[in-house]
A and B are shown apart, each in its own frame.
Chain A
């Protein structure tokens, strides 16, 4: 089993959903990202997604755009992303990279899969890589022994869900709503239905992301999904903090609230 598969098995054995946290590498600083992700793990995240900052994040809302812009301005490169993965994986948390496709395409699929596995990474989430275009990446990932996670959306037909789920290992990422990343007031009513439709096509864990930002929302999603994914809400805590120490404290506080949520 990959560390990702182990993390879901453990959560399931505990009778709860897994908590998945997202943070871009290089944000708020190169070292600060490792510290913040470590704080997220210590507060209760089972899985960490490290974002690979990209110049054209067309499915991200303003919060992640802002963080990614800062990361790129800090000079964050793929070597820094891999170093971040290495630092976070040392905590024992399953550590994935979430990235748009072009950086991997340019770096070389086999090389990226190998280097990510070498850094202790357990897989990738690639939101703009469709099943039709994913063959090369799935092969490279399988050879490197890392998982491939793709997204389904409320608009997905059952046929598409089946095609996407067939390409996934580790888990299936269900986007809770039609829209970009970012915390919302309430969880879209379509999320539960999407999880149910996805389960009809796979035995993999199904995790829900987009719009989750509070312990109450985490508890609600944990009622029907195998994992709860939170990104923008963590970033918002760091963006709003006056200094690094208070940022880390705010991240720990949110992590604990969400961790209690998935156990409720």
Chain B
């Protein structure tokens, strides 16, 4: 096994945040990626969204802001994260060369820390002293509570009651970090309902509060801001792949719930037309059972949580409840930029069932000594399939978006450990 860590101390540049000027880049003035995105929110929130967009525009062109963000990513989040080549795992993937981007090694154990540090800095620039956030698996909640503790911000996390139960450890972590965790008992009691409740809080307390949105969904400018703060994953990985292998990978694989880790790793490769981009959604118990979170692969275009995108909905526009063994992928919407990448054909999206994900989860643990998050295990399962298709000549980069410690309860039940 070979590891490479990029150690040069180059500062993040505005270009690292802002993209590179082609397809998939900044949305238009109304926040549209093609027909997707936009703003479908109560008028009361428009001034706050305008304020966030304007402040972000100033921040991303401000060297002092970039320097502070870069410093936090290096000295607090633990960036750059390493690449790890996993040959024993790769043997099960048709012998393909599989290389992991180790976001699981960041502080708090998942890629979410990148976005929250950026947005917490933005919160301070906005002159606000309170952050709220939704969380599914609890990773975004933990990351937000962490950044809030670091920067002295009041923090309230909305979490579906079902998710609170299956991610009890993360609830305890958030509380320890000083956050208030509010279980949401409405609707399906999962991520989508936590988002509804966070919006209700925001419209009530918008003068003092920033909604620290956790994924690339929601109204403009959230899809753009969260993408830009997550983009460091792909910026680093692209450079590291060239160092390690002398070439770009044949494919990049990532799990897709809301889609932030996937856009984070994809975005720096969008111009590299020879690099295939594969997103893996939660197939749950299987498409035919109706118990899944296959938003891009089986959903239809609609509006959810302030954005036009693919949605799991019935013929009258009612949201259909999603299912996944992984709380972080259990969401019936998806970021509008993924909808755009899907329709343009630049990225391809597939389903991975609970069983396939858990098999990959176990396989990585046994072959490489790495316990991945169940979310990330969907990307690993995708890489196993893709490797078998492409064969031993292929090089596949997988975004290992988080670690699996939080999932031990689920794993104990699933494997009778």
A130 touches B318 (CB 8 A): no
| Binary flags per residue of B181-218, CB closer than 8 Å to A gives 1, else 0 | 00000110000110110011001101100000000000
A-B contact count (CB 8 A): 110
A234 CA to B46 CA, complexed, in Å: 29
Q: List 17 A-B contacts (CB under 8 A).
A: A55-B319, A56-B305, A58-B199, A58-B305, A101-B303, A102-B311, A103-B317, A105-B317, A127-B42, A130-B46, A132-B30, A133-B38, A154-B44, A155-B45, A175-B43, A175-B44, A178-B44
B40 touches A129 (CB 8 A): yes
Query: A152 interface residue, CB < 8 Å from B?
Result: yes
Q: Knowing A106-B315, A107-B317 are in contact, say whether A61-B200 is a contact too (CB < 8 A).
A: yes
Central interface residue in B44, B47, B192, B311, by most chain A CB within 10 Å = B44
| Binary flags per residue of A60-81, CB closer than 8 Å to B gives 1, else 0 | 0100010001001000011000
Question: Nearest residue in A to B40 (C-beta to C-beta)?
Answer: A128
Q: Knowing A58-B199, A61-B200, A72-B318 are in contact, say whether A155-B39 is a contact too (CB < 8 A).
A: no
A133 touches B319 (CB 8 A): no
Report A50 CB to chain B, min CB distance, Å. Answer: 15
Chain B residues whose CB sits within 8 angstroms of the CB of A201 once the complex forms:
none
A179 touches B203 (CB 8 A): yes
Chain B residues whose CB sits within 8 angstroms of the CB of A85 once the complex forms:
none
| A residues neighboring B (CB under 8 Å) | 54-59, 61, 65, 69, 72, 77-78, 101-107, 127-130, 132-133, 150-157, 160, 164, 175, 178-180
Report, as a range, how many residues of chain B touch the other chain: 35 or more
A164 touches B43 (CB 8 A): yes
Q: Knowing A56-B305, A132-B38 are in contact, say whether A160-B43 is a contact too (CB < 8 A).
A: yes
B42 touches A133 (CB 8 A): no
Q: Knowing A72-B318, A178-B203 are in contact, say whether A151-B304 is a contact too (CB < 8 A).
A: no
> Nearest 3 pairs between A and B by C-beta?
A106-B317, A153-B44, A103-B317
A157 CA to B306 CA, complexed, in Å: 20
Query: B316 interface residue, CB < 8 Å from A?
Result: yes
A150 CA to B311 CA, complexed, in Å: 25
A56 touches B196 (CB 8 A): yes
A107 touches B316 (CB 8 A): yes
Query: B370 interface residue, CB < 8 Å from A?
Result: no
A246 CA to B38 CA, complexed, in Å: 45
A133 touches B304 (CB 8 A): no
Question: Nearest residue in B to A151 (C-beta to C-beta)?
Answer: B43
